Amino acid sequence: MSNQNYEIMIGLEVHIQLTNLKSKLFCNCSNDYRGAEPNTYVCPICLGLPGSLPVLNKKAVEFATRLALSLDCKINHRFWFYRKNYHYIDLPKGFQISQYNKAGGKAFADGGKITIKLNNHKKDIILNRIHLEEDPARLVHKGSIATSPYTLVDYNRSGVCLIEIVSEPVINSPEEAREFLKQLKSIVQYSEIANLDLQGSVRVDANISIVGHERSEAKNINSFKEVERALRHEIVRQKNILKRGKTLILETRHWDEKRRITISLRKKEFEADYRYFPEQDLTPIEIDDEFIDRVRDKLPEMPSERAHRLRREYDLSEFDSDNLVLDKDIANFFEDGVNSDPSFGPNEYKQFCNWLMNNISGWLNEHNMTIKNTKLHTKQVVDLVNYVKEGKITTKIAKSLMADLMEGESVSNILEKKDKTRISDRAFIENLCKDAIDENPKIVEDCANNTKAIKALIGRVMKKTRGQADPSITREIILKILRKMDIID
Amino acid sequence: MELDNYMAYELIEKIHNREITIQEVIQASFDKIDETDQCIHSFVNYSKQKALEKAKEYDTKLIGGQEFGKLYGLPFANKDLICMKDFPTTCCSRILEGFRPPYNAYVIERLVEQEGAIHIGNTNMDEFAMGSSTESSCYGPTFNPWDLKRVPGGSSGGSATSIASGQAILALGSDTGGSIRCPASFSGVVGLKPTYGRVSRYGLIAFANSLDQIGPITKCVHDAALMLEIISGKDPLDSTSIDGKVDNYTEEIKKTISKKVLGVPKEFFGEGVDNTVKKSVEKSIKKLESLGATTIEVTIPHLEYTVATYYLICMCEASSNLARYDGIRYGKITDDLSGDIFDVFRRTRGENFGPEVRRRIFLGTYALSAGYYDMFYLKALKVRSLIKQDFVNAFKICDSIVCPTMPITAFKIGELIDNPLQMYAIDILTCPVNLAGLPALSIPCGFDSNNLPIGFQIIGDYFDEKGILNIGYQLERELDIYRKKPPIIKGGI
């Protein structure tokens, strides 16, 4: 029983803020509310004051078109906005202006897909639709929502433009969900409509079910990273219920990020009836082919196209190029870097890519930063690749420079500083070199055949000094001794 | 001076020629209010001190030879649902008690800020404009100056009576299913409901946003034309406002109507239309013919469905438009804050909306609910397009349509208040115009045996305010009753 295989079905509703817009969806207030005093980026329209009317931000339509084209969706040429009616304190009008794809309504765009790769296997995650809507206000609690003595409302967020991306329930594992979101984030970044690294720019609702059983909807997942966690938890919870012989019910659950569990909010039978109907304060939106073509012509290169190009131009592997393009800034860093040194060839491209994907990305993840907000510049990584190639430093030493590199220090400066703590006493090193030669006759023998084996001897000296012996002095001394011994010319 | 002796366009000339000061005009306005408003109750809030200060300031500017607006110094009455910056704007509802908008409606910017009309106060109306009698106001009813026992019509009752009794020279109303034309008809003044989209709704507190339209209420057609010239046009803040040509209405009205073809819709003279009303309207049509217009019978076959269709749509929209009133950010909140936030919402709304508003929110919410939406709302939208098509067909063979505004004259206060269906039914001749989005004008055309005014309605094709004002003006001059005053005023009949 416990080893029973459950087939999982997941559908995601991803809300992203179009953070690159200058103003909100229906008024002129600034979209860039982060860090602002609460309730300062507001006007009669986004406060929903009596008598105010919404006016559609045309740029939002252009941004939505960009995303729709990037996701291969079919854009609807004519649609109304709809009112989604419900009472809550974050909604100053008592309804949210959104879109609706039933009862005569249409989404902004239908269909579309995102291709993911997992364990060398490609899969298309088919989308249901994408649509535009306004963000409700932000609620601020003291501590936990359950125990806070009050709720404060910050309307700075009210009316910010959201795009909702709805997938079909064709995602079969938390890993697939993670890959899907990774690709989505990348496409959003490439289409230049939002910076999803900003706090609060993403909200995900996930529908999860075990095939043959009722689904649950996990709401309030506030970052891409949390999604995988929430899904894992929810799947385990559902499996446990089934293992105990109980039945799953259709319900809405709340993802509690701090406790890392989902909590039941309401049974779906009593789901709110949103009484969708057309928003008549806005005229129908018309999008013609000419407009779509204009937007398409201006669309930047997308990650999948770029990965192809990187393979072609820099001879990178599929794995490397796919990973390199995910973050546009990293891919830009790569191209800028390798192109700045004309001596670079496929070998250096590969090395540069490795530095970026392993040590630098690792450091960024660990520090929860993006490459743009470090002081790292391309020249440093170019130097790094060259120093290692020229044997000036070992890879191991190079890796130890990471923290200083991120502060923007040049490789030569860092090495100079390190020099001061370095052992460069010739007599001391010479003794160690002699020891190393005596202790490793096999390597010495190798050196006679191939001078490259000297590296192994240098390594022994380094080991003895915990990497602090000056490598060039060490090399020089070993060469001298081996010559004296007539091992080499 | 007696304000009610003058039309707005006459007063403008007197002010420009310095035959009269603006201070005298504004003082006369408040004198009339002092004298009559305890009986009529046109106003719910006055702006006396500010108005007198403005008058003084404007007089000084006038002497200094500074440029002035087209409505410079004219006393203007505003319906209590059009936002005036920092002035209480309440929709005559307890739920908006104390609400002072931080901004001006587009029409206020135009009339007051740019053209120099002087705001003297906000006028009484049915709560949230839901009614045809001005009885559902939280401030109590307005009384018809032609017979104080009767209603002035609604919902813009206070605006109509302020003009009828000479308290103001210019007034604004809003018309969702007849709320300008009904009180114009019952109170014996001119009311114009413009084409949907002709006048920006920015700052008009919504009742039913696909039907609402702001329009002038005045003593004569010329004054309505003057106001319309000023408030019409595209406003970037109202997406539904239309960027069409605004005609020179005050000139256009003076043209001959000898080539006009007037459609007479037989359904508008059917059962339920009072005989006296019918006769008076028919007599006026004869007058128009004597001025050279020809008449032709037209048909609006879906008229019988308009009241049901209209009320369904307006209630659905109202249920959503009024959802924002919860007492949290502005307006009145319940004293009992116990329970959770939804308890507070419920109590606030239960205590502070009147019975008619609650009825419409309930019905509208019900009709939009899952399972009923197709049966009610979608069906109503379909009938709406049929009614629209009826008018489109009629305008293929005529220039304008002429008919009664209301099927009856003013009824007694309290007579229909407990019978909502009967109250709704009297909107039958006005609400089809809103469903179709057309412009329509109501002018007084006679009196019944109780000496109550009768309204004559002229419905125009889309954006043909020019045409209906032209016909209205010529009829008004021919009938020559527009200077008649209600008995409450000295010198009235």
Nearest C-alpha neighbor of B464 from the set B262, B190, B211, B182: B262
Which residue of B89, B324, B369 is in closest CB contact with A92? Answer: B324
Cβ of residue A111 closer than 8 Å to a chain B Cβ = no
Q: Are B267 and B221 in a shared domain?
A: yes
Q: Which residues of B touch A282 (CB under 8 A)?
A: 239-240
Q: From A277, which residue of chain B is nearest by alpha-carbon distance? A: B368
Question: pLDDT tens digits, residue range A255-289?
Answer: 888 888 888 877 655 556 899 999 999 999 999 99
Q: Which residues of B touch A89 (CB under 8 A)?
A: 328, 341
Q: Does residue B474 lie in a domain region?
A: yes
Q: Are B326 and B414 in a shared domain?
A: no
Q: Are B428 and B311 in a shared domain?
A: no
**Where exactly are the structural domains of chain A?**
8-295, 301-419, 426-484
Q: Are B90 and B9 in a shared domain?
A: yes
Q: How far apart are CA A126 and CA A10, in angstroms?
A: 12
Q: What is the CATH number of domain A426-484?
A: 1.10.10.410
Q: How far apart are CA B257 and CA B252, in angstroms?
A: 11
Question: Per the omega criterion (within 30 degrees of 0), is the bond before B369 cis?
Answer: no
Q: Which residues of B touch A48 (CB under 8 A)?
A: 324
- Is the CB of A275 less than 8 angstroms away from the CB of B101? no
CB B193 within 8 A of CB B439: yes
Q: Which of the listed residues B359, B388, B417 is the one where a domain comes to its end?
A: B388
Q: Report the pLDDT value the prediction gives residue A2, as an integer from 0 to 100.
A: 44
- Residue B365: which domain range? 303-388
Nearest C-alpha neighbor of A8 from the set A208, A168, A175: A208
- Is the CB of A280 less than 8 angstroms away from the CB of B240? yes
Q: Does residue B490 lie in a domain region?
A: no
Helix (H, G, I), strand (E, B) or coil at A257: coil
Q: Are B394 and B371 in a shared domain?
A: no
The pair of three-digit structure tokens given for residue A2, joined into one six-digit string: 């416990």
DSSP string, B241-255: S--PPPP-HHHHTTS
Q: How far apart are CA A238 and CA B168, in angstroms?
A: 71
What confidence category does residue A51 fall into, taking pLDDT thresholds of 50, 70 and 90? very high
Cβ of residue A93 closer than 8 Å to a chain B Cβ = yes
Q: Are B380 and B286 in a shared domain?
A: no
Q: A216 pairs with which residues across the strands?
A: A208, A251
Q: Does residue B186 lie in a domain region?
A: yes
Does the pLDDT of residue B386 top 80, yes or no?
A: yes
Q: How far apart are CA A145 and CA A149, in angstroms?
A: 9
Q: Which of the listed residues B327, B361, B388 is the one where a domain comes to its end?
A: B388
Q: Which of the listed residues B342, B362, B388 is the one where a domain comes to its end?
A: B388
- Report the complex ipTM: 0.95
Q: Report the pLDDT value the prediction gives residue A394, as an integer from 0 to 100.
A: 76
Where are any strands of DSSP class E within A43-81? 74-75, 78-79
Sequence-distant (≥ 6) Cβ neighbours of residue B216 within 8 angstroms: B170, B171, B172, B173, B190, B191, B192, B223, B224, B227, B228, B231
Question: pLDDT tens digits, residue range B348-372?
Answer: 999 999 999 999 999 999 999 988 8
Q: Are B264 and B132 in a shared domain?
A: yes
Question: pLDDT tens digits, residue range A304-327?
Answer: 999 999 999 999 999 999 999 999
CA–CA min distance B408, chain A (Å): 32
Q: Are B323 and B297 in a shared domain?
A: no
Q: How far apart are CA B445 and CA B402, in angstroms?
A: 12
Tokens 């060839």, residue located: A345
CB B139 within 8 A of CB B93: no
* C-alpha to C-alpha distances, B277 to A265, A364, B79, B409, B453, nearest whole angstrom: 61, 83, 28, 8, 9
Q: Report the pLDDT value the prediction gives residue A49, as an integer from 0 to 100.
A: 98
Q: Does residue B234 lie in a domain region?
A: yes
Q: Are B362 and B412 in a shared domain?
A: no
Q: Does residue B93 lie in a domain region?
A: yes
DSSP string, B73-86: T-EEEEETTB--TT
Q: Does residue B121 lie in a domain region?
A: yes
What confidence category does residue B489 fall into, taking pLDDT thresholds of 50, 70 and 90? low
Structural domain count of chain B = 2
DSSP secondary structure code for residue B112 in this structure: I
Q: B455 pairs with which residues across the strands?
A: B444
The amino acid that residue B226 corresponds to is: L
Q: Are B331 and B468 in a shared domain?
A: no
Q: How far apart are CA A53 and CA B58, in angstroms?
A: 33
Q: Are B185 and B73 in a shared domain?
A: yes
* Percent of chain B whose pLDDT exceeds 90: 93
- Give the global pTM: 0.89
- Is the CB of B323 less than 8 angstroms away from the CB of A93? yes
CB B216 within 8 A of CB B172: yes
Q: Does residue B428 lie in a domain region?
A: yes
**Mean of the per-residue pLDDT values of chain A:** 90
We report the CATH number of the domain holding residue B203 as 3.90.1300.10
Q: Does residue B142 lie in a domain region?
A: yes
* Pairing state between β A251-256 and A161-167: unpaired
Q: How far apart are CA A453 and CA B391, in angstroms?
A: 98
Q: Are B20 and B75 in a shared domain?
A: yes
Q: Which residues of A touch B83 (CB under 8 A)?
A: 50-51
